[in-house]
A and B are shown apart, each in its own frame.
Chain A
């Protein structure tokens, strides 16, 4: 029972990290039809910014410096996303394949740039000491960092859903996911929604990058690529353009991955691909995806 609880909560924690990567991907794809291969770079940029804050700016890690590292990582990654959208994506308006290709190029360049500056080896991410502690629930001992991932992801999920639900720009984004040409036909500036979505997606990925550095004990230029693939899987399973769908799919995949890794000795990654294949064969638009227009 205690093992079960530990695996379950670890799975939810992993799912929370997947959600941070996938939510932005899903919104960007849903609104603009852009398959963003540079999303992994947003994550890496966030992680390196967080590392810089918690080693160079504040050498003694406390809870507050960690929060500062997360916010800084999110903002820098968000600004980079915005820059990329303005300089590159915007110029290839409606050329979806070219947009995807150009993000592949950006991902290559960012990875090589960071590898050239900092080397490819992973660097340790300093955290406040209490991150290493564990709590006891029943008779299960659960490392405390899991709850941090879940908490941060829950806050960002609530924030994203509130923006989508209660603000004007959120309304435009939701309408744009539904039918973009109709929104522009009504004379509403969709470009602003594009930039917003890129910033939000970059922000979530940047925060995710800082948390992933804690989860995997290090920061490296190559970390973005491997998490990006899980992000894609979560997006396809959850349905394009749906933040709630991403959250559900991220949990589903995080939990299944952990259970399969424990009970099927390391087969987690395969089970994830099998889930993906099963969803595609039964409901190609994903769990909460709408019929493609």
Chain B
């Protein structure tokens, strides 16, 4: 067994340590700035895991996943602002709305498979992005983004001193998504997902309907993404069309490849690292770190996408499996030593 026998206690211990750190003594996590960065990174870790459910576990390469995340953000914000719905009910409403949306679009897109499926989901995602950024019907406030009405958000989520509760919310969502992903992938439906990825023909020969299970995986990951979207709305305070852009889905793909697919913790680690790295690289790029270098090198280096894109290409070509893949290879070697 490649799984380390203490991995579960370790995960629970890490969650608890992260949860109490902002509240005890003085440590880096007492600062609101880092708490905010970490909250966003936790949410991207969770979002990468929902994408892994689709891409890694079921083998569906979707380029439209971001639209369900954005749907969670925007439907929650619209319900709260325009229809005066309680924040938590609105989040629930956005999850239901997203599940219906994913059922409709997923059923149409799943008439194709493989690479065509990727293109079709990309087109659907793009339609959603256009819908949000052009402000059709006057719901989304277009390119300016849609701030949530702060009066209708509970007081303990408002203000810099309360950033630690946003941090806790994000950590809680991550823990919930991790548990949900574990429960889904270890369930019998999850076994069918993996079987679909490995050999779809075999699944249909066994008498199961492949499309029904693919749709189930698609809708589940979309609904979980909507939940994270509602969390992101509370943490960042507003929706923005860039959450719906194809670039966001591509970022999710990068996160999963970086951390390694099909291991759950790999996707979360990838999402967390990507989020922190792109924030840090942005700061480095805007600072003076690269100024001593010639312009033709310093220019691209100050664009995070350049560094991340290069890392991505190298991982796909030379280290498939990413960080978690490398870990399991090393562990496999260690366990087989002397045999």
- A-side residues, CB < 8 A to B, are 29, 33, 35, 88, 91-92, 96-98, 100-102, 104-109, 111-113, 115-117, 225, 229, 232-233, 235-236, 240, 266, 269-270, 273, 276-277, 280-281, 284
Q: Looking at the assembled complex, report how far the CB atom of B13 sits from the nearest CB atom of chain A, in whole angstroms.
A: 34
Are B123 and A112 in touch, CB under 8 angstroms? Answer: no
Are A108 and B309 in touch, CB under 8 angstroms? Answer: yes
Could you list 16 further interchain pairs (A-B, Cβ under 8 angstroms) beyond the known A116-B306, A284-B116?
A33-B115, A98-B320, A104-B254, A105-B310, A105-B313, A108-B312, A112-B300, A112-B306, A113-B300, A236-B112, A270-B130, A273-B127, A280-B109, A280-B120, A281-B108, A284-B112
Measured CA separation A115–B302 after assembly (Å): 10
Among residues of B, the one whose C-beta sits closest to the C-beta of A102 is B316
- B-side residues, CB < 8 A to A, are 61, 108-109, 111-112, 114-116, 118-120, 122-124, 126-127, 130-131, 134, 246-247, 250, 253-254, 257, 295-296, 298-306, 308-310, 312-313, 316-317, 320
Are B119 and A236 in touch, CB under 8 angstroms? Answer: yes
Among residues of B, the one whose C-beta sits closest to the C-beta of A270 is B127
Given A96-B115, A236-B123, A240-B116: A266 and B134 within 8 A (CB)?
Answer: yes
- Residues of B within 8 Å of A91, CB to CB, are 317
Are B305 and A111 in touch, CB under 8 angstroms? Answer: yes
Are A273 and B118 in touch, CB under 8 angstroms? Answer: no
Q: Which of A98, A104, A117 has the most CB of B within 10 A?
A: A104
- Residues of A within 8 Å of B301, CB to CB, are 116
Dominant secondary structure of chain B at its interface with chain A: helix
The 15 sampled A-B contact pairs (Cβ below 8 Å) are A35-B119, A92-B316, A100-B115, A102-B316, A104-B254, A106-B309, A108-B250, A108-B308, A116-B306, A117-B300, A225-B247, A232-B122, A233-B119, A236-B112, A273-B124
- Residues of A within 8 Å of B317, CB to CB, are 88, 91-92, 98, 102
- Residues of A within 8 Å of B131, CB to CB, are 270
Measured CA separation A232–B121 after assembly (Å): 11
Give the contacting residue for B306; candidates A97, A109, A269; CB below 8 A. A109
Give the contacting residue for A116; candidates B303, B313, B320; CB below 8 A. B303
- Residues of B within 8 Å of A117, CB to CB, are 295-296, 299-300
Dominant secondary structure of chain A at its interface with chain B: helix
Q: Looking at the assembled complex, report how far the CB atom of A178 sits from the nearest CB atom of chain B, in whole angstroms.
A: 18
Smallest CB-CB A-B distances: 7 pairs: A116-B299, A108-B309, A116-B300, A112-B306, A105-B313, A112-B303, A109-B309
Give the contacting residue for B115; candidates A29, A105, A111; CB below 8 A. A29
Measured CA separation A227–B202 after assembly (Å): 39
Are B306 and A236 in touch, CB under 8 angstroms? Answer: no
Among residues of B, the one whose C-beta sits closest to the C-beta of A96 is B115
Q: Looking at the assembled complex, report how far the CB atom of B52 sits from the nearest CB atom of chain A, in whole angstroms.
A: 14
Measured CA separation A260–B167 after assembly (Å): 46
Among residues of B, the one whose C-beta sits closest to the C-beta of A120 is B303
Q: Looking at the assembled complex, report how far the CB atom of A13 sits from the nearest CB atom of chain B, in whole angstroms.
A: 21
Measured CA separation A88–B314 after assembly (Å): 10
Given A109-B306, A113-B306, A116-B300: A96 and B312 within 8 A (CB)?
Answer: no
- Residues of A within 8 Å of B111, CB to CB, are 280-281, 284
Measured CA separation A225–B305 after assembly (Å): 14
Are B303 and A35 in touch, CB under 8 angstroms? Answer: no
Among residues of B, the one whose C-beta sits closest to the C-beta of A235 is B119
- Residues of A within 8 Å of B304, CB to CB, are 112
Q: Looking at the assembled complex, report how far the CB atom of A171 sits from the nearest CB atom of chain B, in whole angstroms.
A: 25
Among residues of A, the one whose C-beta sits closest to the C-beta of B127 is A273
Q: Looking at the assembled complex, report how far the CB atom of B98 sits from the nearest CB atom of chain A, in whole angstroms.
A: 18
Q: Looking at the assembled complex, report how far the CB atom of A4 sits from the nearest CB atom of chain B, in whole angstroms.
A: 25
Q: Looking at the assembled complex, report how far the CB atom of B211 sits from the nearest CB atom of chain A, in whole angstroms.
A: 12
Among residues of B, the one whose C-beta sits closest to the C-beta of A109 is B309
Are B306 and A229 in touch, CB under 8 angstroms? Answer: no
Measured CA separation A277–B134 after assembly (Å): 21
- Residues of B within 8 Å of A105, CB to CB, are 309-310, 312-313, 316
Measured CA separation A113–B247 after assembly (Å): 16
Measured CA separation A112–B111 after assembly (Å): 35
Q: Looking at the assembled complex, report how far the CB atom of A45 sits from the nearest CB atom of chain B, in whole angstroms.
A: 15
- Residues of B within 8 Å of A97, CB to CB, are 61
Q: Looking at the assembled complex, report how far the CB atom of A57 sits from the nearest CB atom of chain B, in whole angstroms.
A: 20
- Residues of A within 8 Å of B122, CB to CB, are 229, 232
Are A35 and B127 in touch, CB under 8 angstroms? Answer: no
Q: Which of A96, A109, A276 has the most CB of B within 10 A?
A: A109
Among residues of A, the one whose C-beta sits closest to the C-beta of B313 is A105
